[in-house]
Chain A
Amino acid sequence: GENVEQHPSTLSVQEGDSAVIKCTYSDSASNYFPWYKQELGKRPQLIIDIRSNVGEKKDQRIAVTLNKTAKHFSLHITETQPEDSAVYFCAASSYSGGYQKVTFGTGTKLQVIP
């Protein structure tokens, strides 16, 4: 089955600096890669996603890159703000045997220091 590894597990940055979170996956059939943000005591919420036919996607201060050959994808947050502090989860999704299968990473706790 799919195995998703996420690094680092914790990350502290100064406000205004950039943050990068990296994930690797094992199943070459994975073709959809969402990222979720979970604030303390709240539910995970989708912030950006990328499909395997695209190498990069950007939405304001957030960008995601995908390297299918190396089987890794990354989340980039620029000009970080205190409200970016949360736990971020990557996920890899495949569609095989007629069903969707999603595997989550273990999460990265991001702390933005004012």
Chain B
Amino acid sequence: DAGVIQSPRHEVTEMGQEVTLRCKPISGHDYLFWYRQTMMRGLELLIYFNNNVPIDDSGMPEDRFSAKMPNASFSTLKIQPSEPRDSAVYFCASSLGRVLGNQPQHFGDGTRLSIL
């Protein structure tokens, strides 16, 4: 089991540029979560998917943020245009759900994003 795989691990870009973060969940997991972590705001849930369908995107800060899950093995989080206040560590997590009830989330190693 390779775990949740995120790329890139680090991203440094200039304000106004488009940023795309990628996530490959654990095979067979039907839930995928995107989180943002900062010192000031802690761990924030941005959006989560079940069976590739977005269920709750109320945590997405604004229209500059968008997320997609075109298939069960891939998701993207896009920021366009990026701003310095978007600098944070972005985590993707996946879990099993439904039939087995609530299960723990497995986190990727995160993407450390710096917007200059």
Which stretch of B15-23, B60-68, B77-85, B94-102 is in the interface? B94-102
Whether the pair B102, A93 counts as a contact (CB closer than 8 A) is: yes
Say whether B102 contacts A107, CB under 8 Å: no
Instruction: For residue B3, give the distance in angstroms from its CB to the closest CB of chain A.
Output: 9
State whether the Cβ of A102 lies closer than 8 Å to any Cβ in chain B: yes
B43 & A89 in contact (Cβ 8 Å cutoff): yes
Report chain B residues within 8 Å CB of A95: 97, 101-102
Q: Please, which residues of chain B bring their CB within 8 A of the CB of A25?
A: none
Question: For this complex, into which size category does the number of interface residues on chain A fall?
Answer: 20 to 34
Q: How many residues of B contact A (CB 8 A)?
A: 22
Residue A45 lies at the interface, judged by CB distance under 8 Å to chain B: yes
Contacts of B107 in A (CB 8 A): 36, 43-45
Q: How many Cβ-Cβ contacts under 8 Å join chain A to chain B?
A: 52
- B91, B95, B103: the one within 8 Å of A44 (CB): B91
Give the distance to chain A from B55, nearest Cβ to Cβ, in Å: 5
CB distance from A17 to the nearest CB of B (A): 26
**Bound CA span A31–B100, Å:** 13
What residues of chain A have their CB less than 8 Å away from a CB belonging to chain B?
Answer: 31-32, 34, 36, 42-46, 49, 51, 89, 93-95, 98-104, 106-107
Q: A44-B91, A51-B102, A98-B98 are in contact. List 19 more A-B contacts (CB 8 A).
A: A32-B103, A34-B105, A36-B107, A42-B109, A43-B108, A43-B109, A43-B110, A44-B43, A46-B105, A94-B102, A99-B55, A102-B33, A102-B105, A103-B45, A104-B42, A104-B43, A106-B42, A107-B42, A107-B43
